[in-house]
């Protein structure tokens, strides 16, 4: 069984391996020892805090194979972005150039540099090793965050976003960035991506064009990838779209990948979730349905995907002994859960 839990200092080497595997364009996990260790320390600090509103907390989870103890994936939440560092995007909008006298009406798309998402909650750092990409693992890594957020909603903003990785090749070549590089930055995409990942964002404000960019002025290659995702990111995007996330025209300033958003209270898994006390009964649990389940703790958080039953008469959730042990709970404790398959 795979269990999701808070990251600890002992997971450093596993996190480093995941950072290497994630490759160029996965900005939230730079291959840098000090920064990865700082990321772990910040997460450990965050799980110990008791905030009354979203702030500088950064929650990082790992998926562990309970049989081998190997860490096979990560998943994270930034409680409020743009508090310490500026949080940049391009917004894809339109302007109209028209002349009634000449009977000319032209609409042009423009990219406007902005900080519109400052203060919202961001889900991030979702990565699953190739050998673990099976069954419900990827969905559990993603959906457990929605259950955690709705259970502890005072820790998070109502608007939740996810920055999706844009188009780049195996060498880190980004068609969108190549145009910016040629005209404004004189710096390749892997370098810009790494500098952002280590928190060095000053160069963005210094070098990024200050005025809106007409999309038609970009190269055809750059225009073609605006709002498009990396091949490896398509499953993650589909999953978020199923949850109710959509793009409102915001794209990444480096690779033009889309940023999708949803209201926390409207995210499907969160909205459909329930919280009930637990009864432990192996036979009854096996007759139930597959669910994503979390305990209600913060610092001792656990999440799994397994079969469970619900007694509507007694208003209890029925779990197996193995599931209860994995969640680190006892009979009478509460869990929050959402079904793997929704009944439309």
Distance CA 192, CA 195 (A): 5
Residue 246, judged by CB atoms within 10 A of its CB (0-12, 13-18, 19+), counts as exposed
- Residue whose structure tokens are 């929050």: 336
Q: Indicate the pairing of strand 316-319 with strand 58-65.
A: unpaired
Quick check: helix, strand or coil at residue 162? strand
The bridge status of strand 274-280 relative to strand 289-295 is unpaired
Which of 97, 152, 183, 230 is an active site residue? 230
For tokens 């305990």, what's the residue? 295
Residue that is written with structure tokens 């892997």 in the block = 190
3-class state of residue 83 by DSSP:
coil
Q: Could you say which DSSP state residue 336 is in?
A: E
Instruction: Give the span between the Cα atoms of 134 and 65, in whole angstroms.
Output: 13
Two structure tokens written together for 265:
């209270």
Place of tokens 């005209």: 183
Contact 255, 25 (CB under 8 A): yes
User: Alpha carbon of 142 to those of 134, 207, 259, 270, 327: distances in Å?
Assistant: 14, 35, 16, 12, 17
230 is catalytic: yes
* SS3 at position 119: coil
Q: Which residues face 307 on adjacent strands?
A: 290
Give ∠ CA 178-184-190 in degrees, rounded to 5. 45
Catalytic positions are 230
């Amino acid at each position: 069984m795979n269990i999701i839990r808070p990251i600890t200092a002992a997971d450093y080497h596993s996190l480093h391996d995941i950072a290497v595997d994630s490759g160029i364009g996965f900005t939230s996990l730079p291959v840098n020892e000090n920064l990865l260790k700082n990321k772990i320390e910040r997460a450990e600090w965050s799980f110990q805090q008791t905030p009354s509103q979203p702030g500088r907390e950064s929650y990082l989870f790992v998926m562990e194979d309970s049989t081998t103890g190997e860490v096979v994936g990560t998943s994270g939440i930034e409680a409020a972005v743009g508090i310490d560092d500026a949080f940049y995007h391009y917004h894809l909008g339109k302007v109209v150039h028209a002349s009634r006298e000449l009977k000319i009406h032209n609409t042009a798309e423009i990219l406007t540099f902005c900080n519109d998402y400052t203060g919202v909650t961001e889900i991030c750092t979702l990565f699953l090793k190739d050998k673990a990409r099976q069954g419900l693992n990827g969905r559990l890594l993603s959906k457990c965050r929605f259950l955690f957020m709705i259970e502890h909603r005072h820790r998070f903003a109502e608007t939740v976003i996810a920055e999706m990785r844009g188009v780049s090749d195996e060498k880190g070549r980004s068609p969108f960035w190549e145009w910016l590089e040629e005209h404004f930055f004189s710096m390749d995409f892997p370098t810009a991506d790494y500098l952002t990942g280590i928190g060095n964002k000053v160069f963005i404000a210094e070098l990024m064009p200050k005025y809106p960019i007409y999309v038609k002025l970009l190269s055809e290659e750059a225009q073609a990838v605006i709002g498009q995702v990396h091949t490896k990111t398509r499953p993650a995007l589909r999953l978020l779209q199923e949850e109710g996330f959509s793009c409102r025209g915001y794209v990444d300033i480096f690779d033009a990948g889309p940023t999708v958003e949803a209201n926390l209270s409207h995210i499907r898994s969160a909205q459909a979730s329930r919280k009930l006390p637990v009864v432990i009964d192996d036979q009854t649990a096996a007759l139930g349905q597959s669910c994503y389940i979390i305990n209600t703790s913060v610092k001792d958080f656990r999440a799994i995907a397994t079969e469970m039953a619900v007694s509507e008469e007694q208003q209890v959730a029925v779990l197996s002994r193995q599931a209860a042990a994995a969640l680190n709970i006892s009979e009478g404790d509460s869990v929050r859960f959402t079904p793997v398959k929704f009944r439309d």
